[in-house]
A and B are shown apart, each in its own frame.
Chain A
Amino acid sequence: MNLSKQQTFSRRSFLKTSALASGGMLISFNLFTACKSDVKPPIDISQLNFNDFNAFIKISDEGKVTIFSPNPEIGQGVKTSMPMLIAEELDVPWDDVYIEQGVLDTENYTRQLAGGSQSIRLGWEPLRQTGATAKQMLVNAAAAKWGISPSECKASQGVITNPKGETLGYGDVVKEAALLDVPEDVKLKDPEDFTIIGKNTSNVDIDKIITGKPLFGLDYKEEGMVYASVLRPPAFGQVLESFDDTAARALSGVIDVVVIGEKARAHLEGDKKSWTAQLSKSDKVVVIAKTTWAAIKGKKAIKAVWKNDSELESTESHDKILLDLLNGEKFDTRRKDGNVKKAFANADKILERTYESPFLPHNCMEPMNFFANVTPEKVHLVGPVQTPEDAAKVVSNMLDRKLEDIHLEMTRMGGGFGRRLYGDFVYEAVEIADKIKKPVKMVSTREDDMTTGVYRPAIKYKIAASIKDGKLTGYHLKEAAVNINMYGLIPNFFPAAALENYQVDTVNYQSNITTGAWRAPYTNFLASAEQSFFDELAETLEVDRVQLHLDLLENVKNNPEPNIEYSPERLQGVIKMVVDKSNWGKTDPGVYQGFSVYYCHNTHVAEVADIVMENGNPVVKKVTCAVDCGVVVNPLGALNQVKGGVIDGIGHTMYSELAFKDGVPQSNNFNSYQLIRMGQTPQVDVHFVKNNIAPTGLGEPTLPPVGAAVANAIYKATGKRLTKQPYISNMDLEKVVG
Chain B
Amino acid sequence: MATFNLKINNKKHTVEVDEDTPLLWVLRDHIDLVGTKFGCGIGQCGACTVHVDGNAMRSCLLQVSQAEGMSITTIEGLSEDGSHPVQQAWKEIDVPQCGYCQSGQIMTASAFLNQNSNPSNSEIRDAMHGNICRCASYNSIEKAVKVAADKIS
A206 to B97, CA, bound (A): 10
Does the CB pair B98–A681 fall under 8 Å? no
A447 to B29, CA, bound (A): 20
Does the CB pair B97–A640 fall under 8 Å? yes
- Interface membership of B151, Cβ < 8 A: no
| CB nearest to B88 among chain A residues | A210
Name the contact of A212 in the complex, choosing from B22, B36, B140 (C-beta under 8 A): B36
| CB nearest to B32 among chain A residues | A221
Does the CB pair B134–A363 fall under 8 Å? yes
A445 to B41, CA, bound (A): 8
Which residues of chain B are near A679, meaning CB under 8 Å?
125-126, 129
A388 to B38, CA, bound (A): 24
Which residues of chain A are near B61, meaning CB under 8 Å?
none
| CB nearest to A227 among chain B residues | B29
Q: Mark B78-115, 1 if CB is under 8 A from A, else 0.
A: 11011000010011001011111111001000000000
| CB nearest to A650 among chain B residues | B136
| CB nearest to A647 among chain B residues | B136
Residues facing B in A16-36 (CB within 8 A) are none
**In angstroms, how far is the closest chain A Cβ from the Cβ of B29?**
5
- Interface membership of A648, Cβ < 8 A: yes
Name the contact of B18 in the complex, choosing from A294, A412, A416 (C-beta under 8 A): A294
**In angstroms, how far is the closest chain A Cβ from the Cβ of B113?**
15
Does the CB pair A210–B91 fall under 8 Å? yes
Q: Residues of A with Cβ closer than 8 Å to B?
A: 73-77, 200, 202-203, 205-207, 209-216, 218-219, 221, 227, 252-253, 291-294, 296-297, 363-367, 412-417, 443, 445-446, 636-637, 640-641, 643-648, 651, 669-671, 675-679, 681, 683-684
A647 to B142, CA, bound (A): 13
Q: Mark B42-53, 1 if CB is under 8 A from A, else 0.
A: 101101000000
**In angstroms, how far is the closest chain A Cβ from the Cβ of B22?**
7
**In angstroms, how far is the closest chain A Cβ from the Cβ of B97?**
4
Asked if A415 meets B103 with Cβ closer than 8 Å, knowing A212-B33, A365-B37, A636-B94, the reply is: no
Does the CB pair A678–B138 fall under 8 Å? yes
Could you write out 16 A-B pairs with CB less than 8 Å apart? A75-B98, A76-B97, A77-B97, A200-B94, A206-B90, A209-B90, A216-B37, A252-B1, A365-B98, A367-B39, A637-B94, A640-B94, A644-B135, A670-B44, A678-B141, A683-B139
A637 to B35, CA, bound (A): 23
Does the CB pair B136–A681 fall under 8 Å? yes
Does the CB pair A677–B129 fall under 8 Å? yes
**In angstroms, how far is the closest chain B Cβ from the Cβ of A296?**
8
Does the CB pair B140–A643 fall under 8 Å? yes
Does the CB pair B128–A671 fall under 8 Å? no
Asked if A365 meets B47 with Cβ closer than 8 Å, knowing A294-B18, A446-B40, the reply is: yes
Q: A77-B97, A211-B82, A684-B139 are in contact. List 10 more A-B contacts (CB 8 A).
A: A209-B102, A211-B81, A212-B76, A212-B103, A293-B17, A293-B22, A365-B45, A647-B139, A678-B138, A679-B126
| CB nearest to B87 among chain A residues | A210
Does the CB pair B90–A412 fall under 8 Å? no
- Interface membership of B74, Cβ < 8 A: yes
Across the A-B interface, the 10 shortest Cβ-Cβ residue pairs: A212-B35, A75-B98, A414-B100, A212-B75, A647-B136, A670-B44, A75-B97, A209-B99, A219-B34, A293-B25
Does the CB pair B100–A291 fall under 8 Å? no
Does the CB pair B40–A215 fall under 8 Å? no
**In angstroms, how far is the closest chain A Cβ from the Cβ of B136?**
4
- Interface membership of B71, Cβ < 8 A: no
| CB nearest to A218 among chain B residues | B38
- Interface membership of B7, Cβ < 8 A: no
**In angstroms, how far is the closest chain A Cβ from the Cβ of B147?**
13
A200 to B91, CA, bound (A): 12
**In angstroms, how far is the closest chain B Cβ from the Cβ of A449?**
9
Which residues of chain B are near A637, meaning CB under 8 Å?
94
Q: Which of A209, A367, A637, A675 has the most CB of B within 10 A?
A: A209
A74 to B98, CA, bound (A): 6
Cross-chain pair count, CB within 8 angstroms? 189
Asked if A648 meets B136 with Cβ closer than 8 Å, knowing A218-B38, A367-B38, the reply is: yes
A335 to B100, CA, bound (A): 42
A504 to B139, CA, bound (A): 38
Which residues of chain A are near B36, meaning CB under 8 Å?
212
Which residues of chain B are near A678, meaning CB under 8 Å?
125, 128-129, 131, 138, 141-142
- Interface membership of B55, Cβ < 8 A: no
| CB nearest to B77 among chain A residues | A212
Which residues of chain B are near A74, meaning CB under 8 Å?
98
Does the CB pair B45–A215 fall under 8 Å? no
A669 to B36, CA, bound (A): 19
Name the contact of A644 in the complex, choosing from B30, B82, B136 (C-beta under 8 A): B136
Does the CB pair A643–B136 fall under 8 Å? yes
| CB nearest to A676 among chain B residues | B136
A651 to B133, CA, bound (A): 11
Which residues of chain A are near B106, meaning CB under 8 Å?
210
| CB nearest to B28 among chain A residues | A292
Asked if A675 meets B87 with Cβ closer than 8 Å, knowing A210-B102, A366-B37, A683-B139, the reply is: no
- Interface membership of B62, Cβ < 8 A: no
Which residues of chain B are near A253, meaning CB under 8 Å?
18
**In angstroms, how far is the closest chain B Cβ from the Cβ of A228?**
13
**In angstroms, how far is the closest chain A Cβ from the Cβ of B64?**
10
Name the contact of B94 in the complex, choosing from A206, A227, A291, A412 (C-beta under 8 A): A206
Q: Which of A205, A216, A669, A670 has the most CB of B within 10 A?
A: A670
Which residues of chain A are near B21, meaning CB under 8 Å?
291, 293
| CB nearest to A364 among chain B residues | B134
A73 to B81, CA, bound (A): 24
Asked if A365 meets B134 with Cβ closer than 8 Å, knowing A415-B100, A679-B125, A679-B129, the reply is: yes
| CB nearest to A202 among chain B residues | B94
Asked if A670 meets B42 with Cβ closer than 8 Å, knowing A211-B35, A211-B87, A644-B135, the reply is: yes
A367 to B97, CA, bound (A): 16
A618 to B100, CA, bound (A): 30
A644 to B85, CA, bound (A): 24
Does the CB pair A206–B91 fall under 8 Å? yes
Does the CB pair A207–B132 fall under 8 Å? no
**In angstroms, how far is the closest chain A Cβ from the Cβ of B33?**
7
Q: Mark B6-31, 1 if CB is under 8 A from A, else 0.
A: 00000000000110011001001110
- Interface membership of B137, Cβ < 8 A: yes
Which residues of chain A are near B79, meaning CB under 8 Å?
211
A4 to B128, CA, bound (A): 65
Does the CB pair A671–B98 fall under 8 Å? no
Which residues of chain A are near B126, meaning CB under 8 Å?
679
Which residues of chain A are near B91, meaning CB under 8 Å?
202, 206-207, 210
A251 to B101, CA, bound (A): 31
Which residues of chain A are near B129, meaning CB under 8 Å?
677-679
A423 to B142, CA, bound (A): 35
A293 to B91, CA, bound (A): 33
A591 to B101, CA, bound (A): 33
Q: Which of B38, B39, B45, B98 has the most CB of A within 10 A?
A: B98
Which residues of chain B are near A675, meaning CB under 8 Å?
132, 134
Name the contact of B39 in the complex, choosing from A292, A365, A636 (C-beta under 8 A): A365
Name the contact of A203 in the complex, choosing from B18, B37, B96, B103 (C-beta under 8 A): B96
Which residues of chain A are near B35, meaning CB under 8 Å?
211-213
